[in-house]
A and B are shown apart, each in its own frame.
Chain A
């Protein structure tokens, strides 16, 4: 599969405060940021970048409800139709004893479903190698990246240097 490559110019910052200020400046100057990479979630960054709220949790609710129904209806069928067994003198359809397992399957379905969805949406998966700008953005560096197709490289470079980037480099990914 021939993948479209991008010519990217990016700057590395040492601190998230500096990064946040830089993003604000970029917004004021109407510079089109391609992506921001941070080693941990930075509070307040999403609204600055104009990201909409993630819809992942809606998926989580659906997967969770699916887990609830699987567990509850499954146990109901097993213990009343398929293989009725009396435990401790309780009725076949002993709802209170179903609740812990229902709860656990809800959590399991929601968790696994959300992880799988997240991987699929982001094109991630076992064996898929994704391009990475700089290994240190998963450690202690904060990165703002521009696509050279949408911004003049010199403008981007001067912006990155002015707002306090420690290093500025280019890379084709």
Chain B
């Protein structure tokens, strides 16, 4: 039975148009940007991190499922295998950003600013981790390791179709070894990457929960994207063996991890609120004061909406409600990353931009060294006060949406190219039979 996915010409054209929109928006952002091109670079960082994380989480969940002897997902496991292959593109994107740190193309990270490093005691204390070498070399190695596992595990899985099926399940055993090794690696390194890529835009601030919170955000987005992709492909006549039962379970995971995300979000928020330490509360004060729509909207779209829609059993089995929720939550977590990154980046741009480019002396002498907090305190004496509304920072504008469409098209283009290069049905996977008779 030939069940390879054939990419329709119209789909390629649509994704091509999507990518063109992305490029066009990036160019427009670059042209209309400030001197440091902060909006341009922050959009690239935002989307690169978001989609690389989705690819990582696909591999992570696949590994977790293999290790747990799970079988229900086997009929559509090629989807996650193909999603994880995007890590090679993610590697390229993060390398560009890393080289940007090295050569000063962008000023997204406060710690990368030379003048700040000379005077800022807190950033000096973190310099062992937050430096350009760490960002490029350590980050590069880690993403390469992720891709190595993604590549190997897909290769073994594809080879199983051709040469597998022996009574010893040798392919599956090898897959289990890879999966079990990858899990702890992914657990620890994903946290380190979150600190390096995302949390370090607020260089003075840190939170122990932040890595899990971000990881949960990636995970939910991955689940939402999986649901949308499978529904689309079922609509095109593929995956006839993926039943409502499978979709119901994906819906449950979307529901469960939306709540998990909220749990982590709230745990982080409440501890900081209760502790009431200025260095910590500044993160939330900045966001509540200057980004209220994004801040509260984030909770509504990522918690209230999936919680009440997906609570009912039936709603997780209906394509309409499931697709609507998946779409909203996917967008909501993109928005969540926007809110994680932009305030810190905007502040860094004010610091660096307000005192000329990174190399200039005199920066930070009047404030910074002894000041643990940042943001609101500085707002008054800045040329561009933080209270001033800035499209693309305080709220995502059309250019941000366009850039997102571009990156999403790139992801999907790469995904479908990978998916169509092998047959969809893993016919010799020992768990296929279980997956075909999945009842929940």
Contacts and interface: CB of A to CB of B under 8 A. Distances in A.
Interface of A: 43-44, 53, 57, 61, 88-90, 96-97, 99-100
Contacts of A57: 313
Given A53-B313, A61-B311, A89-B276, A99 B266 contact: yes
B276 A96 contact: no
A96 B313 contact: no
A90 B272 CA distance: 13
B270 A97 contact: yes
Contacts of A96: 266, 269-270, 273-274
B234 interface: no
Contacts of A88: 274, 276
Interface in B291-330: 311, 313
A115 B219 CA distance: 33
A99 B266 CA distance: 9
Nearest to B440: A43
B174 interface: no
Interface residues of B, number: 10
A90 B274 CA distance: 8
Interface of B: 266, 269-270, 273-274, 276, 311, 313, 439-440
A100 B266 CA distance: 10
Contact of B274 (A44, A61, A97): A97
Nearest to B439: A43
Contact of A99 (B270, B311, B440): B270
Instruction: Enumerate the 4 nearest inter-chain pairs by beta-carbon distance, A residue then B residue, closest first.
Output: A43-B439, A44-B439, A96-B270, A96-B273
Contacts, number: 20
Nearest to B273: A96
Contacts of B266: 96, 99
Nearest to B272: A96
A53 B313 CA distance: 10
A93 to B, nearest CB: 14
20 contacts: A43-B439, A43-B440, A44-B439, A53-B313, A57-B313, A61-B311, A88-B274, A88-B276, A89-B276, A90-B274, A96-B266, A96-B269, A96-B270, A96-B273, A96-B274, A97-B270, A97-B274, A99-B266, A99-B270, A100-B270
A91 to B, nearest CB: 11
Contacts of A100: 270
Contacts of B276: 88-89
Contacts of A61: 311
Nearest to B269: A96
A96 B276 CA distance: 13
Nearest to A64: B311
A43 B311 CA distance: 21
Contacts of B440: 43
Contacts of B313: 53, 57
A63 B313 CA distance: 17
Nearest to B266: A99
B269 to A, nearest CB: 7
Contacts of B311: 61
Nearest to A89: B276
A61 B276 CA distance: 35
A100 B274 CA distance: 13
B295 to A, nearest CB: 14
A74 to B, nearest CB: 19
A90 B281 CA distance: 14
B283 to A, nearest CB: 15
A137 B311 CA distance: 33
B56 to A, nearest CB: 30
Given A43-B440, A96-B273, A96-B274, 13 more contacts: A43-B439, A44-B439, A53-B313, A57-B313, A88-B276, A89-B276, A96-B266, A96-B269, A96-B270, A97-B274, A99-B266, A99-B270, A100-B270
Nearest to A61: B311
B66 to A, nearest CB: 22
B23 to A, nearest CB: 43
A44 B270 CA distance: 43
A23 B274 CA distance: 58
B180 to A, nearest CB: 28
Nearest to B275: A88
Contacts of B273: 96
Contacts of B439: 43-44
Nearest to A43: B439
Contacts of B274: 88, 90, 96-97
B172 to A, nearest CB: 24
A90 B275 CA distance: 11
